[in-house]
């Protein structure tokens, strides 16, 4: 009986060992087998989820074009004239051939040609440009193009990942992509409107191309016009909200009909150098008859327009995106040492100098 119990215990131990080994094998084999059985398409999906940039590029790149033409003012004779070219980038707005780019891109060239991502070439048949914002729209005779989608207002977050697509340095490098983040928003950098800042590599030729978020939306139009030569990782783009405002007016009127205060104004030193300040704008001249009729004179100081504090020309330009010529605004001012309210009927032209040229004093043509 003792011997039988001993044999039964040994058998039980052997059985338990066998069960343990079998359990271990049953747990380990399926894991390794599952890992080995993952198909390539599943691996690709995992990689895309980890990095959406290739997918974003594939979606947006067909909506990005290269724009090339002879430099304005160049000679039209001689063999060397063949290489006297300038180029930039653009974004398809409609399937019927309307494209947005920078004003300084299209205005710097003659006999402009657009090349789409599939290698097809089209002559530019018409364009409308706004120098103050550096935005232009141009037309080519094409159909069934893939249009890009502009992002909504206030959708940009500092630190979010972005892709810049364009033709840097050489026209042969069309539809090149660089990746970075939004470094800042609302930047005032020698521009009439606030800009987006990004550390995505941007070079001459990227001008007019898109800055794209991870939803595949165009959050801005790159403008090298505002990037200093020799500065790395500091590029700027015109926000989609401003682009939408400008192109709507260009489509409607062929120009941007801006409201104007009819005043020449001077910013404070603090505002010019970028210090945080709420110094008023100083009137250096009442240009329009409406401004003089409102009893505004040289030396008066402007604090706000319809309750909105303004300390720079950019503040006024941004505010006036929601105004039209002919509207009446209320100005909070200081005149002769007194705080006063002035009602002013807005004219049309440059928002702060009351002229009709709507142009910019900046004549740079860097692409």
Q: Which DSSP string do the residues of 220-257 spell out, in sequence order? A: EEE-GGGS-TT--S-EEEEEHHHHHHHHHHHHHHSS--
Q: Which DSSP string do the residues of 257-282 spell out, in sequence order? A: --EE--EEEE--HHHHHT----PPEE
C-alpha separations of 70 from 73, 82, 144, 167, 170 in Å: 9, 8, 28, 16, 14
Distance CA 66, CA 204 (A): 12
Yes or no: say if 313 and 351 are a contact pair by the CB < 8 Å rule: yes
Handedness of CA 30, 31, 35, 38 (dihedral sign): positive
Q: Is 104 a catalytic residue?
A: yes
Query: Tokens 């910019």 correspond to what residue?
Result: 360
Helix residue spans in the chain (DSSP H): 2-37, 40-50, 53-60, 103-106, 240-253, 269-273, 289-293, 313-319
Yes or no: say if 266 and 284 are a contact pair by the CB < 8 Å rule: yes
> Comparing C-alpha atoms, which of 257, 333, 250 is closest to residue 291?
333
Q: Is 144 a catalytic residue?
A: no
Distance CA 132, CA 219 (A): 20
> Could you say which of 134, 213, 315, 350 is catalytic?
134
> Could you say which of 108, 207, 223, 288 is catalytic?
207
> Could you say which of 104, 117, 133, 360 is catalytic?
104
Yes or no: say if 87 and 71 are a contact pair by the CB < 8 Å rule: no
Q: Which residues are catalytic?
A: 104, 134, 207
């Amino acid at each position: 009986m003792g011997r039988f119990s001993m044999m039964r215990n040994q058998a039980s131990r052997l059985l338990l060992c066998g069960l343990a080994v079998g359990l271990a094998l049953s747990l380990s084999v399926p894991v390794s087998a599952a890992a080995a059985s993952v198909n390539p398409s599943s691996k690709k999906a995992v990689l895309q989820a980890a990095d959406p940039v290739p997918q974003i590029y594939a979606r947006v790149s067909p909506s990005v074009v290269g724009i090339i033409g002879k430099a304005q003012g160049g000679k039209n004779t001689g063999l060397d004239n063949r290489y006297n070219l300038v180029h930039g980038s653009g974004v398809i707005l409609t399937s019927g051939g309307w494209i947005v780019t920078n004003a300084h891109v299209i205005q710097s060239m003659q006999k402009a040609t657009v090349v789409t991502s599939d290698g097809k070439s089209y002559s530019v048949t018409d364009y409308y440009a706004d120098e103050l914002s550096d935005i232009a729209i141009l037309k080519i005779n094409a159909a069934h193009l893939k249009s890009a989608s502009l992002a909504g207002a206030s959708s940009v977050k500092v630190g979010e990942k972005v892709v810049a697509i364009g033709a840097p340095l050489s026209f042969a490098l069309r539809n090149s992509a660089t990746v970075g983040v939004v470094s800042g928003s609302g930047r005032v950098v020698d521009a009439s409107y606030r800009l987006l800042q990004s550390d995505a590599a941007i070079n001459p030729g990227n001008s007019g191309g898109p800055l794209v978020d991870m939803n595949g939306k165009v959050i801005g139009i790159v403008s090298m016009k505002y990037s200093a030569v020799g500065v790395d990782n500091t590029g700027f783009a015109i926000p989609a909200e401003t682009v939408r405002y400008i192109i709507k007016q260009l489509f409607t009127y062929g120009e941007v009909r801006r409201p104007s205060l009819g005043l020449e104004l001077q910013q404070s030193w603090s505002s010019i150098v970028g210090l945080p300040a709420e110094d008023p704008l100083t009137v250096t001249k009442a240009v329009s008859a409406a401004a003089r009729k409102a009893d505004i004179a040289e030396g008066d100081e402007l604090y706000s327009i319809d309750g909105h504090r303004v300390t720079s020309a950019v503040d006024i330009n941004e505010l006036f995106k929601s105004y039209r010529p002919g509207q009446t605004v209320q100005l909070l001012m200081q005149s002769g040492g007194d705080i006063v309210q002035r009602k002013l009927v807005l004219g049309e032209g440059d928002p702060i100098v009351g002229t009709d040229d709507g142009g910019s004093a900046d004549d740079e043509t860097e692409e």
